[in-house]
Amino acid sequence: MLTTLVVYVPIIILLLVVFAAAIKILREYVRGVVFTLGRFTGVKGPGLILLIPFVQQMVRVDLRTIVLDVPAQDVISRDNVSVKVNAVLYFRVIDPERATIQVENYMQATSQLAQTTLRSVLGKHDLDEMLAERDKLNNDIQEILDAQTDAWGVKVANVEIKHVDIDESMIRVIARQAEAERERRAKVISAEGEQQAAQKLYEAAVILGQQPEAMQLRYLGALSVIANDRSNTIVFPFPLEVGAALSGFGAKK
């Protein structure tokens, strides 16, 4: 009896090991890429998967969105400014077969491609564009990465530039530039205001010149303002028509 038990125990253990190796349970977000004697035979999952021991092997592939932090990259902008830029990348596997067969490590490959693409795209833009047009740059980088990773069965959903680090001396230059720009805008606004005021004064003078009665009313209004003033000096408006008449009388005489 003991001899029989000693003989059957290893066999039972071996069967349990083989049975455990044959049964796989995959979660909802996991797919199994199955190879039979080294050849691709299909993608299985989720749920209970049965494999032929020692004949079939399975590679697990996660289909959830992966958040990848792109390390800071040294970038020289189109206007020759050196900056450090880092970004975050959101991608996921949409074809487990290609993600397993077409590339050795799709995560490492996507990370390296994101770093080179980040330097390449940002190097074609000025520093002002990097700071002010991040949405456009994010879309450009995302489109390039998505086109490149499509062959690997990877979908790049989004790219976000996180930080654009500038040298301290360059920050002071940008501050002076911003201050000069504000002064320029203030001068332009002041000049435009003076131009509009001059235009309105000209239009008012034309109207008053065409209607002498309006000019007299303007004189009366000025006298009313002067009368209410507490100043000891009173200036009376002198009509231009009277001056012209007196000038003509003196010339005739």
Closest CA to 200 of 210, 212, 192: 192
Residue 142, exposed/middle/buried by CB under 10 A (0-12, 13-18, 19+)? Answer: buried
Cβ(70)–Cβ(122) below 8 Å: no
Question: Is pLDDT above 70 for 5?
Answer: no
Mean pLDDT, the chain, whole residue set? 82
Q: pLDDT digit string (tens) for 19-32?
A: 767 888 999 999 99
**Local confidence band at 185 (pLDDT 50, 70, 90 cut-offs):** confident
Question: Is pLDDT above 60 for 44?
Answer: yes
Q: Which domains does the chain have, with CATH numbers?
A: 2-62 (no CATH), 66-166 (3.30.479.30), 211-252 (no CATH)
Q: Which residue has 């940008």 as its token pair? A: 174
> Averaged over 179-206, what is the pLDDT?
83
Q: How many CB atoms lie within 10 A of CB 49?
A: 17
**Local confidence band at 176 (pLDDT 50, 70, 90 cut-offs):** confident
Residue 242: what pLDDT?
52
Residue 194: what pLDDT?
86
Share of residues in the chain with pLDDT > 90 (%): 43
Phi, psi (rounded to 5 degrees) for 118: -60, -45
